[in-house]
């Protein structure tokens, strides 16, 4: 297993206010803690800027050019898929831009806000235009989009904000939306209206209303049955929503909720343990916003190292499948890898790997599909491996899979099947992780926010290197 050493940096400016592991930080009330964070930010010194990965040998001029091209294509989605009146962003669209879904997703809107926040420094769009896009979308999220106790419905009408597809008011999708709100506030918060809209969205989210038995958050709520019976009870993308709920300015949950969920481990081929969950996106979405690189949890775990290990474990897993099923999956390997929840020839699939019970295809339904966002979402995590496969995919398959908005959602080299669509959240994670690799600016925007700093402080994260 390859080990990657990262530059140590301070992820939070709280060290000069409260020790991250102190009971004081964990138990302090929201008003006092947030006042201390804002006072420290005003007085200085400011937290250091987070830079691009300094130890990635593959940030060559050619790779930088590829990253910039990919970012511009992905950003175009968040321009074209946004309703011209409401700014709400379609859940998915056709690869050529000829059609977009009539329903937006709350998570896509969060990725859009984060994308607009980094647009000026990434030379994707000028500052004034990106600011106005953010304002339009924030107004709709605050005043138009239907919600329950601040939790937006998973799918809402792109033109009217009304609940669609009998979807739930979703905790994780709201967390991803609020992550974008936090980036918008730290970037454009000198604008009084934008600042007020961001704070309204943060303050109205009643995390405690979603807290159930065992200090576990429920996955959502719907008008027909109330709280969903399913809870966030084991390692997954829950890390972003639990941390944000603990760091929230209002209606926050207690730091004990961080320890409440299960941490199931498995071994890689090389005997290294990691917290496992098959789809790679769960190891990427929290990492796009929270800078886990130089912090460790109260138990001493590095979630950054865990994400690195999960990516290498999947490459190993897919290589094993290639050996077992050479006709159907022989293309998998170091050069061509990556599966995460995506479209497939047989519909949307929640797949990934490796799996706890070590069952392989055909038990899991993996059919040789490749999902480019699985590698693109790892650009800041395993840059060498991600860049290699993404450039291979573009060069080998060309415009059959690489078009106006970047990569198609998924494709299968063995059958020549290619998804007709791109999906907003997959396009978004590709763009944001490319920017974190290039500059660290998503981390910069998010980690400046008091909620991110309070989350680490209350939970008891402390400095530590991989």
Whether 361 contacts 329, CB under 8 Å: yes
pLDDT category at 356 given cuts 50, 70, 90 is: confident
**435 vs 52, 368, 455, CA distance in Å?**
8, 29, 23
Q: Backbone dihedral region of 375: left (phi > 0), alpha (psi from -120 to 50 degrees) or beta?
A: alpha
**Would you call 126 exposed, middle or buried from its count of C-beta atoms within 10 A (0-12, 13-18, 19+)?**
exposed
- Give pLDDT, residue 441: 97
Closest CA to 375 of 318, 328, 414: 318
For residue 9, pLDDT beyond 90: no
Q: How many Å apart are CA 55 and CA 402, to the nearest integer?
A: 28
Q: Three-state SS string across the chain, please? A: CCCCCCCCCCCCHHHHCCCCCCHHHHHCCHHHHHHHHHHHHHHCCCCCCCCCCCCCCCCCHHHHHHHHHHHHHHHHHHHHCECCCCCCEECEEECCCCCECCEEEHHHHHHHHHHHHHCCCCCCCCHHHHHHHHHHHHHHHHHCCCEECCEEECEEECCCCCECCCCCEEHHHHHHHHHHHHHHHHHHCCCHHHHHHHHHHHHHCCHHHHEEHHHEEECEEECCCEECCCECCECCCHHHHHHHHHCCCCCCCCHHHHHCCECCEEECCCCCEEECCCCHHHHCHHHHHCCCCCEECCCCCCHHHHHHHHHHHHHHHHHHHHHHCHHHHCCCCCCCCCCCCECCCCCCECCCCCCCCCCCCCCCCCCCCECHHHHHCCCCCCHHHHHHHHHHHHHHHHHHCEECCEECCCEECCCCEECCEEEHHHHHHHHHHHHHHHCCHHHHHHHCCHHHHHHHHHHCCEECCC
Summarize the confidence of residues 22-42 as an average pLDDT. 58
Summarize the confidence of residues 437-448 as an average pLDDT. 97
Summarize the confidence of residues 96-112 as an average pLDDT. 98
Angle at 381 between CA 448 and CA 48, to 5 degrees: 30
Summarize the confidence of residues 246-266 as an average pLDDT. 96
pLDDT category at 253 given cuts 50, 70, 90 is: very high
Share of the chain above pLDDT 70, in %: 85
Q: What are phi and psi of 244, to 5 degrees?
A: -65, -35
For residue 442, pLDDT beyond 60: yes
For residue 35, pLDDT beyond 70: no
Summarize the confidence of residues 374-401 as an average pLDDT. 97
| Range of weakest confidence among 146-160, 177-191, 270-284, 417-431 | 270-284
Whether 391 contacts 66, CB under 8 Å: yes
Q: How many Å apart are CA 94 and CA 47, to the nearest integer?
A: 41
Q: How many Å apart are CA 456 and CA 233, to the nearest integer?
A: 20
pLDDT digits (tens, 9 = 90+) for 46-92: 444 555 554 455 689 999 999 999 999 999 999 999 999 999 999 99
- Give pLDDT, residue 156: 98
For residue 98, pLDDT beyond 80: yes
Q: How many Å apart are CA 439 and CA 276, to the nearest integer?
A: 28
276: its two tokens: 């496992």
β-pair partners for 421 = 94
Average pLDDT, the chain: 90
Share of the chain above pLDDT 90, in %: 82
Displacement of CA 75 from its chain's centroid (Å): 16
Whether 431 contacts 74, CB under 8 Å: yes
- Give pLDDT, residue 5: 29
For residue 354, cis peptide bond before it (omega within 30 degrees of 0): yes
- Give pLDDT, residue 381: 97
Q: What are phi and psi of 313, to 5 degrees?
A: -65, -35
Whether 310 contacts 276, CB under 8 Å: yes
pLDDT category at 36 given cuts 50, 70, 90 is: low
Q: What are phi and psi of 169, to 5 degrees?
A: -75, 110
For residue 362, cis peptide bond before it (omega within 30 degrees of 0): yes
- Give pLDDT, residue 267: 79
| Range of weakest confidence among 10-14, 62-66, 154-158, 171-175 | 10-14
pLDDT category at 405 given cuts 50, 70, 90 is: very high
Q: How many Å apart are CA 163 and CA 170, to the nearest integer?
A: 12
- Give pLDDT, residue 18: 39
Q: What are phi and psi of 463, to 5 degrees?
A: -65, 140
Q: How many Å apart are CA 353 and CA 370, to the nearest integer?
A: 13
pLDDT digits (tens, 9 = 90+) for 128-168: 999 999 999 999 999 999 999 999 999 999 999 999 999 99
- Give pLDDT, residue 85: 98
- Give pLDDT, residue 266: 86
Q: How many Å apart are CA 278 and CA 280, to the nearest integer?
A: 6
For residue 2, pLDDT beyond 80: no
pLDDT category at 23 given cuts 50, 70, 90 is: very low
């Amino acid at each position: 297993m390859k080990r990657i050493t990262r530059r140590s940096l301070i992820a939070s400016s709280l060290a000069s206010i409260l020790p991250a592991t102190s009971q004081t930080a964990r138990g302090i009330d929201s008003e006092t803690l947030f006042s201390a964070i804002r006072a420290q930010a005003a007085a200085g010194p400011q937290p250091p800027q987070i830079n691009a990965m300094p130890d990635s040998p593959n940030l060559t001029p050619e790779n930088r050019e590829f990253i910039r091209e990919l970012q511009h294509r992905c950003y175009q989605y968040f321009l074209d898929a946004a309703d011209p009146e409401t700014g709400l962003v379609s859940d998915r669209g056709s690869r050529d831009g000829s059609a977009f879904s009539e329903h937006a997703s709350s998570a896509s809107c969060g990725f859009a806000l984060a994308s607009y926040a980094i647009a000026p420094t990434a030379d994707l769009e000028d500052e004034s235009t990106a600011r106005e896009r953010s304002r339009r979308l924030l107004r709709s999220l605050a005043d138009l989009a239907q919600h329950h106790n601040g939790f937006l419905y998973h799918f809402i009408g792109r033109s009217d904000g009304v609940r669609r597809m009998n979807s739930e008011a979703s905790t994780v999708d709201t967390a991803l939306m609020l992550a974008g709100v936090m980036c918008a506030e730290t970037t454009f918060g000198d604008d009084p209206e934008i600042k007020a809209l961001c704070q309204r969205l943060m303050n109205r989210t009643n995390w405690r209303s979603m807290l159930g038995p065992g200090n576990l958050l429920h996955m959502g709520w719907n008008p027909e049955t109330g709280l969903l019976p399913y809870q966030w009870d084991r390692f997954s993308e829950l890390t972003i929503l639990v941390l944000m709920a603990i760091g929230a300015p209002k209606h926050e949950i207690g730091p004990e909720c961080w320890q409440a969920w299960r941490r199931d481990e498995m071994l890689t081929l090389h005997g290294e343990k990691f917290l496992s969950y098959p789809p790679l996106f769960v190891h990427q979405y929290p990492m796009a916003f929270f800078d886990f690189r130089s912090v460790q949890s109260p138990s001493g775990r590095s979630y950054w190292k865990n994400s690195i290990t999960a990516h290498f474990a999947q490459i190993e897993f897919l290589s094993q499948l290639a050996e077992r099923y050479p006709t159907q999956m022989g293309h998998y390997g170091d050069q061509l890898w990556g599966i995460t929840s995506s479209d497939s020839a047989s519909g949307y699939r929640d797949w990934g790997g490796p799996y706890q019970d070590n069952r392989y295809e055909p038990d899991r339904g993996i059919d040789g599909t490749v999902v480019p966002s699985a590698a693109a979402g790892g650009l800041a995590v395993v840059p060498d491996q991600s860049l290699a496969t993404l450039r291979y995919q573009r060069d080998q398959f060309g415009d059959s899979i690489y078009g106006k908005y970047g990569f198609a959602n998924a494709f299968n080299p063995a059958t020549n099947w290619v998804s007709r669509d791109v999906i907003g959240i997959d396009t978004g994670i590709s763009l944001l992780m490319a920017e974190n690799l290039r500059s660290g600016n998503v981390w910069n925007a998010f980690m400046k926010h008091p909620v991110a700093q309070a989350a680490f402080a209350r939970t008891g994260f402390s400095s530590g290197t991989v």
